Amino acid sequence: MAVSLGDAVGAGLERSCGPQEWVHAAGPVDGVELFRARLRGRPFSRHRHDVYAIGVTEEGVQAFGYRGTVERSLPGQVFVLHPGELHDGRAGGPGLFGYRQIYVTPDRIASALPALTGRPIPLPFAPPVTDDPVLARVVGTAFARAREPLALDALVLQLAVGLLKSSAAGVTGRLSCWVDLPAVERGRDFLRSRLTIVQSS
């Protein structure tokens, strides 16, 4: 997956991190990568990713040029950068800005959509900055969970739900199939508790 930190370092991070600045990436694993940063100034020049970047601003003001305008994301706000869209990244003021985001391949989102809508639909196109506490919580909790296959599947499903709900195009009618994610997680925990290790003799 050609995304995020590798791309940012190669084409966007124009200098080393200064005092109180840092970048951390975990992944990619099965089409999902976690990324956190705390930066100042104008660290990212114009670039694009081949994945969705769905994140939450945690500190300061994050500004980015996107689709001909300058967007600003405040602490707690969700930002969505769509695959292939040219953008940059910078502080919206003199201080630091911090954020966490999830990079997820479009095919992972596309594979989740029929389970939610009951039919194939185009990839959702959400607004670049929104006040979406549910999607913000999904992004936040992703960093506290183990990155195992079932947890990643649940995460992608939650992200797809959030993108559908905030999509400018929207989806006609209600989601035809709702997945009870806490129940799925309880099922995972139950199966894990019953796991036995078979050793070869």
pLDDT value at position 86?
Answer: 96
The reported pTM is: 0.77
pLDDT value at position 186?
Answer: 75
Instruction: Evaluate if residue 172 carries a pLDDT over 50.
Output: no
Instruction: Evaluate if residue 31 carries a pLDDT over 70.
Output: yes
pLDDT value at position 9?
Answer: 39
**pLDDT level of residue 199 (50, 70, 90 thresholds):** low
Percent of the chain with pLDDT over 90: 64
Instruction: Calculate ∠ Cα 121-4-6, nearest 5°.
Output: 140
**pLDDT level of residue 169 (50, 70, 90 thresholds):** very low
Encoded amino acid at 27, one letter: G
184 vs 29, more confident:
29
Average of per-residue pLDDT values in the chain: 84
CB-CB contact of 92 with 116 (8 Å) = no
How many angstroms separate the CA atoms of 178 and 13, rounded? 40
CB-CB contact of 155 with 142 (8 Å) = yes
Strands 44-47, 62-66: pairing is unpaired
Rounded mean pLDDT of 15-33?
Answer: 86
Instruction: Evaluate if residue 14 carries a pLDDT over 50.
Output: no
Full set of structural domains in the chain with CATH: 4-188 (2.60.120.10)
pLDDT value at position 181?
Answer: 62
Instruction: Evaluate if residue 201 carries a pLDDT over 60.
Output: no
3-state secondary structure at position 117: helix
In this predicted model, what pLDDT tens digit does every residue of 61-114 receive, in sequence order?
999 999 999 999 999 999 999 999 999 999 999 999 999 999 999 999 999 999
